[in-house]
Structure 1
Amino acid sequence: MYSRKAPILSPIEAAIQLLSRRDHGEYELNQKLSIKGYEDEDIQKALNFCLEHNYLDDLRYARSQIRQHIYKGHGERRIRQELNQKRVAESILEQAMAEEPQDWFELAKSAAEKKFKGQKAKDQKEYAKQVRFLQYRGYSFEQISYALNSENEE
């Protein structure tokens, strides 16, 4: 059976190498180092080192993820769900959301316009399809209603 080779880099070097490519959350970095075969105690030392030297910052990571998701046209619910899966603390998530303010209604509208090219649904089936798309993107029913019903009012 396949046996894992011992890691070549120290856990701190591996953590810094991962962080040099992009920001990671504390939990995500822990998982990546664990997969690479480092011991839990060594991983904790590496995480502490990165936290002390400000290489690892969950708030900075959350803000970066929020900006990335907004750029992709995702709504607040989807962003929150993704960051919860990556185990970003609720307090940090709230702070990051406050620091990256957004008009979710206009974002939903622009996502709908981009996807459906400004075409209003011809029938109930098509309307339901548009609603599902925006729900999957993470928008609330109020935002979806605004996005789909205000397109032709300009």
Structure 2
Amino acid sequence: MSASKFPKMLNYAALKQQFSAESAPEIAQHDTHDQQALSFEQESEKKSQGLTGTRLRSYAFATLTRKEYSKVDLIEKLCLYAADRNEVIALVEELAHENYQSDQRVAEMTVRSQIRQGKGPNRIKMALRNKHLDKSLVSEDLQDIDWYAQAHQLKVKKYGTEVSHDPKTKAKQIRFLQYRGFEMDAIMKAINKKTDDFDK
């Protein structure tokens, strides 16, 4: 018979090299996933062990250097990584006593930030509650602010200086300022007064 009628001999060496190369990325991908899973397990195990003593103190200082926290929020954050809640509470009390942590400071920063964003007293009080801060910490600061002027400034920025007599337009302005957290008396004065009236 003619040799062409028979299949050629398989080159096993070439096939082995070809399939090894094709499966390499898949194997590498599995290895990567295994490494990620192992890393996640190690991290979880590390967290489950819980921080204590010097390690907990170092983590608390590192946390406060990145951001100011209220006492309650700092306790809750540290408890995610600490072994003992009582140790966390004692540490945070110590940090507060040494003024590394300050509810007063956080409250004042919150008020300033909210005012820059054009928020009224109601929204500011809500922001303080969300940070677990007592509004009495900044009660004097809130009383010293001219909320009429703040509301009017916001109204002018959004709708201009013209005093509208259209009920729908007025209602729209009222809703806008209510959403921003202003009281109704400040809102009504803001939308009905001209800019010059605040100088009188």
Question: Shorter-chain TM-score: which interval?
Answer: 0.7 to 0.9
The match for 2:187 is 144
Please point out which of 97, 108, 111 is paired with 1:66. Answer: 111
Secondary structure at 2:182's aligned position in 1?
coil
Residues 84-123 of structure 1: matches in 2 within 5 Å?
Answer: 84-95=129-140, 97=142, 101-121=144-164, 123=166
Q: CA RMSD in A?
A: 2.7
Contact 1:50 1:56 (C-alpha < 8 Å) held by counterparts? yes
Higher RCO by CA contacts (8 Å cutoff, separation 6 or greater): 1
The match for 1:127 is 170
* TM-score, normalised relative to structure 1: 0.81
Residues 10-21 of structure 1: matches in 2 within 5 Å?
Answer: 10-21=55-66
Secondary structure at 1:10's aligned position in 2?
helix
Unaligned runs of 5+ in 1: none
Decide which structure has greater helix share.
Answer: 2
Unaligned runs of 5+ in 2: 1-39
Secondary structure at 2:69's aligned position in 1?
coil
Counterpart code for 1:128: A
Write the deviation string for residues 45-100 of structure 1: whole angstroms up to 9, x where unpaired: 331231122111111111111111111111111111221232212432425535xx
Change (3 A) 1:96 1:123: closer
Cα distance in 2 between the residues matched to 1:42 and 1:20: 20
Cα distance in 1 between the residues matched to 2:133 and 2:185: 27
Bigger Rg, structure 1 or 2: 2
Change (3 A) 1:71 1:90: closer
Contact 2:120 2:147 (C-alpha < 8 Å) held by counterparts? yes
The match for 2:81 is 37
- Verify: 1:53 aligned to 2:98, yes or no: yes
Cα distance in 2 between the residues matched to 1:14 and 1:115: 44
Cα distance in 2 between the residues matched to 1:96 and 1:150: 25
Cα distance in 2 between the residues matched to 1:23 and 1:117: 37
- Verify: 1:24 aligned to 2:69, yes or no: yes
Cα distance in 2 between the residues matched to 1:121 and 1:110: 15
Share of identical aligned residues, percent?
A: 27
The range that moved more, 128-137 or 81-90, is 81-90
Cα distance in 1 between the residues matched to 2:180 and 2:105: 23
Cα distance in 2 between the residues matched to 1:82 and 1:89: 11
